[in-house]
Structure 1
Amino acid sequence: MGLGTSGIILLAIVALLLFGPNKLPELGRAFGRTLREFKNGAKDIMGDDEQTDRKTVSAVQADAPSTEPTNNKRLPD
């Protein structure tokens, strides 16, 4: 469902007619800032999820019984 070259050209012409050549660079910058903020926000959310997952795994491992053999066997006296 891609937009062909003719579709992109048509969108550019419509944008020029609607906003004019003076307003388009400003709109492009605003759109770029919006995308950058969204990307950074998504990274922050993903980073928070990873940190939470690590803390959860650490807590579960700390609560889990140790699988290491213990030498608590006593010999009879």
Structure 2
Amino acid sequence: MKDTINMSMGEIIANINELVAIKKTRELTKEENIFREALKKVYISNFRAGLEQQILNTKVVNKKGEDITPKKIKEVRNEHK
């Protein structure tokens, strides 16, 4: 089993899909279940980090061109600088 930390998202998804296909034909082994859980944790962590970056880099502007980005997002953005 490969080190999940150093996998790309494409590799993680491919491995998850492979385990799903295996699970449809038979029960997963203990090692496969452990690997699946590790993949799931890394996938969720990477997904959340990407979503957070997307939100932090989003600017909300009204029709007048004024920045109306929520205060909380601006505060968090300033904390990350």
- Is the pair's TM-score, using the shorter chain for normalization, greater than 0.5? no
TM-score, structure 2 normalization: 0.41
Structure with bigger RCO (C-alpha 8 Å, 6+ apart)? 2
TM-score (norm 1): 0.43
